[in-house]
């Protein structure tokens, strides 16, 4: 009986080392997953920023196109007014 108890006591440090190793491995896996999640979120934000930039660029293009069209129409009206006065 005393021998069995001695074996259990002898095994305790080894079991603790195994448990600590398992805990460290688990923590490494969690850290790795957090890093992957952070990278995915960063990529998602980058894509969203690029998408928004493209939307803004397109809106600015359309705004400028509309301004140019209005300016051409005003020029055309001025030319017509000048022709009528002559």
33-85 pLDDT tens trace: 999 999 999 999 999 999 999 999 999 999 999 999 999 999 999 999 999 88
**pTM over 0.85, yes/no:** no
The Cα-based distances of 15 to 12, 20, 46, 57 in angstroms read 5, 9, 46, 62
Sign of the dihedral defined by the CA atoms of residues 17, 23, 24, 25, in that order: positive
CA distance 17 to 28: 16
3-state percent helix, strand, coil for the chain, nearest multiple of 5: 100, 0, 0
- pLDDT score, position 13: 87
- Give the N- to C-terminal CA distance of the chain in Å, as an integer: 126
């Amino acid at each position: 009986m005393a021998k069995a108890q001695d074996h259990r006591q002898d095994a305790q440090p080894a079991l603790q080392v195994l448990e600590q190793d398992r805990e460290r491995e688990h923590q490494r896996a969690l850290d790795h997953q957090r890093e992957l999640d952070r990278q995915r979120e960063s990529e998602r934000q980058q894509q969203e920023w690029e998408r928004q930039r493209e939307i803004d660029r397109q809106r600015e293009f359309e705004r400028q196109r509309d301004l140019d069209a209005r300016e051409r129409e005003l020029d055309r009206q001025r030319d017509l007014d000048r022709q009528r006065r002559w």
